[in-house]
Structure 1
Protein backbone atom coordinates (compact mmCIF):
# COMPACT_ATOMS: atom_id res chain seq x y z
CA UNK A 1 0.00 0.00 0.00
CA UNK A 2 1.41 3.35 -1.06
CA UNK A 3 1.32 5.67 1.95
CA UNK A 4 3.09 8.69 0.47
CA UNK A 5 1.93 12.08 1.74
CA UNK A 6 0.12 13.01 -1.49
CA UNK A 7 -2.01 9.84 -1.13
CA UNK A 8 -3.24 10.85 2.30
CA UNK A 9 -5.79 13.32 3.63
CA UNK A 10 -4.47 16.69 4.72
CA UNK A 11 -6.91 17.59 7.50
CA UNK A 12 -6.09 17.67 11.21
CA UNK A 13 -9.76 17.40 12.23
CA UNK A 14 -12.62 15.86 10.26
CA UNK A 15 -14.43 19.20 10.23
CA UNK A 16 -11.73 20.36 7.80
CA UNK A 17 -12.06 17.36 5.46
CA UNK A 18 -12.62 17.84 1.75
CA UNK A 19 -13.95 15.54 -0.95
CA UNK A 20 -10.36 15.04 -2.14
CA UNK A 21 -9.36 13.99 1.39
CA UNK A 22 -12.12 11.40 1.55
CA UNK A 23 -11.33 10.11 -1.93
CA UNK A 24 -7.75 9.58 -0.79
CA UNK A 25 -8.96 7.72 2.31
CA UNK A 26 -11.39 5.62 0.24
CA UNK A 27 -8.60 4.66 -2.17
CA UNK A 28 -6.82 3.04 0.80
CA UNK A 29 -9.90 1.67 2.56
CA UNK A 30 -11.34 -0.35 -0.31
CA UNK A 31 -8.28 -2.57 -0.94
CA UNK A 32 -7.61 -2.80 2.81
CA UNK A 33 -11.17 -3.95 3.55
CA UNK A 34 -11.02 -6.51 0.74
CA UNK A 35 -8.17 -8.25 2.58
CA UNK A 36 -10.19 -8.77 5.76
CA UNK A 37 -10.28 -12.51 5.21
CA UNK A 38 -6.49 -12.68 5.19
CA UNK A 39 -6.32 -10.81 8.51
CA UNK A 40 -8.91 -13.17 10.01
CA UNK A 41 -6.85 -16.18 8.93
CA UNK A 42 -3.68 -14.60 10.33
CA UNK A 43 -5.38 -13.92 13.64
CA UNK A 44 -6.65 -17.50 13.88
CA UNK A 45 -3.02 -18.63 13.77
CA UNK A 46 -2.50 -16.84 17.10
CA UNK A 47 -4.68 -19.55 18.68
CA UNK A 48 -2.11 -22.21 17.75
CA UNK A 49 -0.49 -23.71 20.83
CA UNK A 50 -2.82 -21.91 23.25
CA UNK A 51 -4.42 -24.73 25.24
CA UNK A 52 -5.86 -22.84 28.18
CA UNK A 53 -6.07 -26.20 29.98
CA UNK A 54 -8.20 -27.81 27.26
CA UNK A 55 -7.36 -31.19 25.65
CA UNK A 56 -6.63 -29.45 22.30
CA UNK A 57 -5.33 -25.97 21.58
CA UNK A 58 -7.72 -23.22 20.56
CA UNK A 59 -6.79 -23.41 16.89
CA UNK A 60 -7.44 -27.16 16.79
CA UNK A 61 -10.77 -26.60 18.54
CA UNK A 62 -11.70 -24.02 15.90
CA UNK A 63 -10.62 -26.28 13.04
CA UNK A 64 -12.44 -29.23 14.54
CA UNK A 65 -15.64 -27.24 15.03
CA UNK A 66 -15.54 -26.02 11.43
CA UNK A 67 -14.62 -29.43 10.04
CA UNK A 68 -17.52 -31.08 11.84
CA UNK A 69 -19.90 -28.44 10.47
CA UNK A 70 -18.49 -28.82 6.94
CA UNK A 71 -18.71 -32.61 7.00
CA UNK A 72 -22.29 -32.26 8.17
CA UNK A 73 -23.11 -30.33 4.99
CA UNK A 74 -23.46 -26.86 6.47
CA UNK A 75 -23.15 -23.91 4.04
CA UNK A 76 -19.87 -22.04 3.78
CA UNK A 77 -20.99 -19.02 5.84
CA UNK A 78 -21.96 -21.35 8.70
CA UNK A 79 -18.64 -23.20 8.41
CA UNK A 80 -16.70 -19.93 8.56
CA UNK A 81 -18.71 -18.92 11.62
CA UNK A 82 -17.79 -22.27 13.20
CA UNK A 83 -14.15 -21.59 12.36
CA UNK A 84 -13.99 -18.11 13.88
CA UNK A 85 -16.51 -18.38 16.72
CA UNK A 86 -13.68 -18.33 19.30
CA UNK A 87 -11.34 -15.96 17.45
CA UNK A 88 -11.73 -13.46 20.28
CA UNK A 89 -10.23 -15.80 22.91
CA UNK A 90 -6.85 -14.06 22.75
CA UNK A 91 -8.32 -10.54 22.93
CA UNK A 92 -11.39 -10.80 25.14
CA UNK A 93 -11.13 -13.46 27.80
CA UNK A 94 -14.43 -12.34 29.34
CA UNK A 95 -16.37 -11.55 26.15
CA UNK A 96 -14.87 -13.54 23.31
CA UNK A 97 -18.27 -14.24 21.65
CA UNK A 98 -18.81 -10.49 21.22
CA UNK A 99 -15.55 -10.19 19.29
CA UNK A 100 -16.29 -13.01 16.87
CA UNK A 101 -19.83 -11.73 16.40
CA UNK A 102 -18.64 -8.18 15.67
CA UNK A 103 -16.16 -9.44 13.06
CA UNK A 104 -18.66 -11.60 11.21
CA UNK A 105 -21.79 -9.45 11.53
CA UNK A 106 -21.63 -7.51 8.23
CA UNK A 107 -21.12 -10.73 6.24
CA UNK A 108 -23.72 -13.20 7.51
CA UNK A 109 -27.40 -13.62 8.26
CA UNK A 110 -28.91 -12.46 11.54
CA UNK A 111 -29.17 -16.11 12.65
CA UNK A 112 -25.47 -16.85 12.12
CA UNK A 113 -24.52 -13.59 13.81
CA UNK A 114 -26.77 -14.43 16.79
CA UNK A 115 -25.28 -17.90 17.15
CA UNK A 116 -21.79 -16.39 17.24
CA UNK A 117 -22.81 -13.74 19.78
CA UNK A 118 -24.62 -16.11 22.14
CA UNK A 119 -22.66 -19.34 21.86
CA UNK A 120 -20.77 -18.64 25.11
CA UNK A 121 -23.89 -18.79 27.26
CA UNK A 122 -25.27 -21.76 25.31
CA UNK A 123 -21.96 -23.59 25.61
CA UNK A 124 -22.19 -23.01 29.36
CA UNK A 125 -24.93 -25.64 29.49
CA UNK A 126 -22.15 -28.22 29.30
CA UNK A 127 -19.90 -26.90 32.08
CA UNK A 128 -21.28 -23.98 34.13
CA UNK A 129 -22.58 -26.33 36.83
CA UNK A 130 -19.04 -27.63 37.40
CA UNK A 131 -17.99 -24.08 38.27
CA UNK A 132 -20.87 -23.30 40.64
CA UNK A 133 -22.82 -21.42 37.96
CA UNK A 134 -26.27 -21.94 36.51
CA UNK A 135 -25.98 -24.19 33.46
CA UNK A 136 -29.43 -23.08 32.36
CA UNK A 137 -28.54 -19.43 31.79
CA UNK A 138 -29.37 -19.98 28.13
CA UNK A 139 -33.01 -20.38 29.15
CA UNK A 140 -33.24 -16.59 29.37
CA UNK A 141 -33.27 -16.77 25.55
CA UNK A 142 -35.94 -19.48 25.33
CA UNK A 143 -38.47 -18.42 22.72
CA UNK A 144 -35.95 -16.47 20.65
CA UNK A 145 -36.19 -17.43 16.95
CA UNK A 146 -32.55 -18.58 16.92
CA UNK A 147 -32.53 -20.41 20.26
CA UNK A 148 -32.66 -23.91 18.77
CA UNK A 149 -30.08 -23.09 16.09
CA UNK A 150 -27.60 -21.90 18.72
CA UNK A 151 -28.29 -24.91 20.96
CA UNK A 152 -27.73 -27.19 17.98
CA UNK A 153 -24.45 -25.48 17.04
CA UNK A 154 -23.11 -25.98 20.55
CA UNK A 155 -24.34 -29.57 20.87
CA UNK A 156 -23.26 -30.88 17.48
CA UNK A 157 -20.12 -28.89 16.76
CA UNK A 158 -18.74 -26.69 19.56
CA UNK A 159 -18.90 -28.79 22.73
CA UNK A 160 -17.93 -31.91 20.75
CA UNK A 161 -14.76 -30.39 19.26
CA UNK A 162 -12.12 -31.20 21.86
CA UNK A 163 -11.02 -34.62 20.59
CA UNK A 164 -7.23 -34.88 20.13
CA UNK A 165 -7.73 -37.90 17.84
CA UNK A 166 -10.16 -36.16 15.46
CA UNK A 167 -8.73 -35.49 12.00
CA UNK A 168 -9.63 -31.90 11.24
CA UNK A 169 -9.11 -30.21 7.91
CA UNK A 170 -6.14 -27.80 7.98
CA UNK A 171 -6.60 -24.04 8.05
CA UNK A 172 -5.74 -23.69 4.36
CA UNK A 173 -8.73 -25.90 3.50
CA UNK A 174 -11.00 -23.17 4.83
CA UNK A 175 -9.08 -20.29 3.25
CA UNK A 176 -11.23 -20.00 0.08
CA UNK A 177 -14.42 -19.91 2.18
CA UNK A 178 -13.01 -17.26 4.50
CA UNK A 179 -11.67 -15.11 1.67
CA UNK A 180 -14.97 -15.26 -0.21
CA UNK A 181 -17.12 -14.48 2.82
CA UNK A 182 -15.07 -11.46 3.86
CA UNK A 183 -14.79 -10.11 0.33
CA UNK A 184 -17.98 -8.08 0.46
CA UNK A 185 -20.37 -7.31 3.33
CA UNK A 186 -24.07 -8.06 3.05
CA UNK A 187 -24.64 -4.68 4.65
CA UNK A 188 -22.49 -2.08 6.33
CA UNK A 189 -22.68 -0.49 9.76
CA UNK A 190 -23.91 2.67 8.07
CA UNK A 191 -26.82 0.99 6.29
CA UNK A 192 -27.87 -0.73 9.55
CA UNK A 193 -27.69 2.62 11.36
CA UNK A 194 -29.87 4.27 8.71
CA UNK A 195 -32.42 1.44 8.91
CA UNK A 196 -32.62 1.76 12.70
CA UNK A 197 -33.19 5.54 12.57
Structure 2
Protein backbone atom coordinates (compact mmCIF):
# COMPACT_ATOMS: atom_id res chain seq x y z
CA UNK A 1 0.00 0.00 0.00
CA UNK A 2 1.37 3.40 -1.01
CA UNK A 3 -1.50 5.45 0.35
CA UNK A 4 -4.96 4.96 1.79
CA UNK A 5 -8.01 4.83 -0.43
CA UNK A 6 -10.42 6.71 1.83
CA UNK A 7 -11.35 10.36 1.36
CA UNK A 8 -13.10 10.67 4.71
CA UNK A 9 -11.58 9.30 7.89
CA UNK A 10 -14.80 7.54 8.82
CA UNK A 11 -14.38 5.30 5.75
CA UNK A 12 -10.90 4.04 6.67
CA UNK A 13 -10.20 0.36 7.32
CA UNK A 14 -8.16 -1.17 10.10
CA UNK A 15 -5.43 -2.07 7.60
CA UNK A 16 -5.25 1.52 6.40
CA UNK A 17 -4.97 2.88 9.92
CA UNK A 18 -2.25 0.35 10.80
CA UNK A 19 -0.42 1.48 7.65
CA UNK A 20 -0.80 5.15 8.62
CA UNK A 21 0.32 4.51 12.19
CA UNK A 22 3.52 2.90 10.92
CA UNK A 23 4.24 5.90 8.68
CA UNK A 24 3.49 8.29 11.53
CA UNK A 25 5.88 6.45 13.85
CA UNK A 26 8.61 6.66 11.19
CA UNK A 27 7.94 10.37 10.71
CA UNK A 28 8.00 11.02 14.44
CA UNK A 29 11.49 9.58 14.64
CA UNK A 30 12.63 12.83 13.01
CA UNK A 31 11.05 15.07 15.64
CA UNK A 32 14.31 16.12 17.28
CA UNK A 33 15.82 16.98 13.89
CA UNK A 34 12.82 19.21 13.19
CA UNK A 35 13.14 20.83 16.62
CA UNK A 36 16.82 21.52 16.00
CA UNK A 37 15.97 23.08 12.64
CA UNK A 38 13.27 25.23 14.27
CA UNK A 39 15.74 26.34 16.93
CA UNK A 40 18.31 27.26 14.28
CA UNK A 41 15.63 29.32 12.56
CA UNK A 42 15.30 31.42 15.73
CA UNK A 43 18.61 32.99 14.71
CA UNK A 44 16.62 35.00 12.14
CA UNK A 45 13.64 36.22 14.16
CA UNK A 46 12.70 39.16 16.38
CA UNK A 47 15.35 41.79 15.83
CA UNK A 48 16.03 44.63 18.25
CA UNK A 49 17.56 42.65 21.10
CA UNK A 50 21.31 42.40 21.63
CA UNK A 51 21.15 38.66 20.96
CA UNK A 52 19.12 36.54 18.57
CA UNK A 53 16.21 34.47 19.85
CA UNK A 54 18.38 31.37 19.34
CA UNK A 55 21.14 32.81 21.50
CA UNK A 56 18.54 33.78 24.09
CA UNK A 57 17.23 30.20 24.11
CA UNK A 58 20.73 28.75 24.38
CA UNK A 59 21.59 31.13 27.23
CA UNK A 60 18.39 30.24 29.07
CA UNK A 61 19.22 26.54 28.82
CA UNK A 62 22.86 27.13 29.75
CA UNK A 63 21.84 29.09 32.84
CA UNK A 64 19.45 26.31 33.86
CA UNK A 65 22.19 23.73 33.35
CA UNK A 66 24.72 25.78 35.34
CA UNK A 67 22.12 26.10 38.08
CA UNK A 68 21.91 22.31 38.39
CA UNK A 69 18.45 22.00 36.82
CA UNK A 70 17.32 18.57 35.66
CA UNK A 71 17.02 17.50 32.02
CA UNK A 72 13.33 18.40 31.83
CA UNK A 73 13.83 22.00 32.91
CA UNK A 74 16.88 22.47 30.68
CA UNK A 75 14.90 21.25 27.67
CA UNK A 76 12.03 23.52 28.70
CA UNK A 77 14.42 26.47 28.85
CA UNK A 78 15.88 25.59 25.46
CA UNK A 79 12.48 25.33 23.76
CA UNK A 80 10.49 27.92 25.74
CA UNK A 81 10.38 30.52 22.94
CA UNK A 82 10.08 28.11 20.02
CA UNK A 83 6.56 29.37 19.37
CA UNK A 84 7.56 33.01 18.85
CA UNK A 85 7.60 32.77 15.08
CA UNK A 86 4.30 30.95 14.52
CA UNK A 87 2.32 31.92 17.62
CA UNK A 88 3.49 35.37 18.69
CA UNK A 89 0.51 36.00 20.96
CA UNK A 90 0.54 32.60 22.66
CA UNK A 91 4.08 31.35 22.12
CA UNK A 92 4.26 29.97 25.65
CA UNK A 93 1.34 27.64 25.09
CA UNK A 94 2.75 26.37 21.79
CA UNK A 95 6.11 25.53 23.38
CA UNK A 96 4.38 23.84 26.31
CA UNK A 97 2.36 21.68 23.92
CA UNK A 98 5.55 20.51 22.22
CA UNK A 99 7.27 19.39 25.41
CA UNK A 100 4.22 18.14 27.32
CA UNK A 101 4.39 14.45 26.27
CA UNK A 102 8.04 14.19 27.36
CA UNK A 103 8.61 16.18 30.57
CA UNK A 104 7.19 16.33 34.06
CA UNK A 105 3.99 18.30 34.55
CA UNK A 106 5.68 21.08 36.49
CA UNK A 107 7.91 22.00 33.53
CA UNK A 108 4.96 22.01 31.13
CA UNK A 109 3.11 24.34 33.53
CA UNK A 110 6.10 26.67 33.81
CA UNK A 111 6.59 26.94 30.06
CA UNK A 112 2.85 27.33 29.46
CA UNK A 113 2.72 30.31 31.84
CA UNK A 114 6.14 31.93 31.41
CA UNK A 115 4.91 34.57 28.95
CA UNK A 116 2.40 35.85 31.48
CA UNK A 117 4.91 35.70 34.33
CA UNK A 118 7.52 37.61 32.28
CA UNK A 119 5.15 40.57 32.05
CA UNK A 120 6.18 41.56 35.57
CA UNK A 121 9.27 43.13 34.00
CA UNK A 122 7.60 45.33 31.39
CA UNK A 123 3.77 45.37 31.42
CA UNK A 124 3.69 48.68 33.30
CA UNK A 125 5.34 50.37 30.32
CA UNK A 126 2.22 49.53 28.30
CA UNK A 127 -0.27 50.54 30.97
CA UNK A 128 -0.99 46.91 31.85
CA UNK A 129 -0.88 45.09 35.17
CA UNK A 130 2.63 43.69 35.75
CA UNK A 131 1.30 41.52 38.57
CA UNK A 132 -1.35 39.69 36.56
CA UNK A 133 0.57 36.49 37.26
CA UNK A 134 -0.51 36.76 40.90
CA UNK A 135 -3.84 35.17 40.00
CA UNK A 136 -1.77 31.97 40.26
CA UNK A 137 -0.06 32.90 43.53
CA UNK A 138 -1.59 29.94 45.37
CA UNK A 139 -0.62 27.46 42.71
CA UNK A 140 2.01 24.92 43.84
CA UNK A 141 4.25 25.77 40.85
CA UNK A 142 3.88 29.56 41.01
CA UNK A 143 7.30 30.06 42.58
CA UNK A 144 8.93 27.65 40.14
CA UNK A 145 7.70 29.80 37.26
CA UNK A 146 8.82 33.00 39.02
CA UNK A 147 12.27 31.46 39.47
CA UNK A 148 12.42 30.24 35.85
CA UNK A 149 11.67 33.73 34.58
CA UNK A 150 14.08 35.46 36.96
CA UNK A 151 17.05 33.10 36.69
CA UNK A 152 16.86 31.87 33.11
CA UNK A 153 14.49 33.79 30.85
CA UNK A 154 14.73 37.51 31.62
CA UNK A 155 18.48 37.26 32.33
CA UNK A 156 19.41 35.74 28.95
CA UNK A 157 19.79 38.68 26.60
CA UNK A 158 23.51 39.18 27.32
CA UNK A 159 25.91 39.21 24.37
CA UNK A 160 28.81 38.62 26.77
CA UNK A 161 27.41 35.51 28.42
CA UNK A 162 29.44 32.38 27.52
CA UNK A 163 26.83 30.69 25.37
CA UNK A 164 27.33 27.09 24.23
CA UNK A 165 26.38 26.12 20.68
CA UNK A 166 23.15 24.28 19.94
CA UNK A 167 25.13 21.05 19.46
CA UNK A 168 25.92 21.12 23.18
CA UNK A 169 22.26 20.46 23.98
CA UNK A 170 21.52 18.00 21.17
CA UNK A 171 22.28 14.80 23.17
CA UNK A 172 20.06 16.03 26.00
CA UNK A 173 17.26 16.90 23.59
CA UNK A 174 17.50 13.47 21.96
CA UNK A 175 17.48 11.75 25.36
CA UNK A 176 14.36 13.55 26.59
CA UNK A 177 12.43 13.15 23.31
CA UNK A 178 13.33 9.45 23.16
CA UNK A 179 11.02 8.87 26.14
CA UNK A 180 7.69 7.14 25.64
CA UNK A 181 5.19 9.98 25.07
CA UNK A 182 2.87 10.65 28.03
CA UNK A 183 4.65 8.14 30.26
CA UNK A 184 2.95 8.65 33.64
CA UNK A 185 6.25 7.87 35.39
CA UNK A 186 7.77 10.89 33.62
CA UNK A 187 4.87 13.31 33.50
CA UNK A 188 3.72 12.64 37.04
CA UNK A 189 1.20 15.10 38.38
CA UNK A 190 -0.32 17.46 35.85
CA UNK A 191 -2.14 20.68 36.68
CA UNK A 192 -4.82 22.41 34.61
CA UNK A 193 -3.31 24.80 32.08
CA UNK A 194 -4.96 28.22 32.08
CA UNK A 195 -6.48 29.63 28.92
CA UNK A 196 -4.70 32.95 28.53
CA UNK A 197 -4.50 35.78 26.06
CA UNK A 198 -1.57 38.07 25.48
CA UNK A 199 0.82 35.74 27.27
Work out which of the residue numbers 15, 18, 27 in structure 2 matches 1:20: 15
Cα offset for 1:131? 2.0
Cα offset for 1:46? 1.1
Cα offset for 1:184? 3.2
> Which 5+ residue runs of structure 2 have no aligned equivalent?
184-199
Q: 2:37 aligned with 1:42, yes or no?
A: yes
Aligned equivalent of 2:186: none
Cα offset for 1:23? 1.4
- Determine the C-alpha separation between the residues in 2 that align with 1:46 and 1:179: 19
Contact 1:37 1:181 in 2 (8 A): no
Aligned equivalent of 1:146: 141
Cα offset for 1:162? 0.6
Q: 2:84 aligned with 1:89, yes or no?
A: yes
More helix by share: 1
Cα offset for 1:106? 0.9
- Determine the C-alpha separation between the residues in 1 that align with 2:182 and 2:46: 35
Work out which of the residue numbers 130, 134, 157 in structure 2 matches 1:135: 130
Q: 2:66 aligned with 1:71, yes or no?
A: yes
- Determine the C-alpha separation between the residues in 2 that align with 1:48 and 1:19: 44
Work out which of the residue numbers 38, 49, 52 in structure 1 matches 2:47: 52
Higher mean C-alpha deviation, range 118-127 or range 175-184 = 175-184
Higher mean C-alpha deviation, range 176-185 or range 60-69 = 176-185
Contact 1:77 1:108 in 2 (8 A): yes
Cα offset for 1:88? 0.4
Aligned residue pairs: how many?
A: 184
- Determine the C-alpha separation between the residues in 2 that align with 1:122 and 1:95: 13
Q: Deviations over 1:61-82 (max 9, x none)?
A: 0000000001111111110100
Aligned equivalent of 1:3: none
- Determine the C-alpha separation between the residues in 1 that align with 2:72 and 2:12: 37
Aligned equivalent of 1:158: 153
Alignment RMSD? 1.5
Q: SS of the counterpart of 1:90?
A: coil
Map 1:96-115; keep pairs closer than 5 Å.
Answer: 96-115=91-110
Work out which of the residue numbers 110, 118, 124 in structure 1 matches 2:113: 118
Aligned equivalent of 1:181: 176
After TM superposition, the score normalised by the length of structure 2 is 0.88
- After superposing on structure 2, the runs of 4+ consecutive aligned residues of structure 1 that deviate more than 3 Å are none
Work out which of the residue numbers 56, 60, 64 in structure 2 matches 1:61: 56
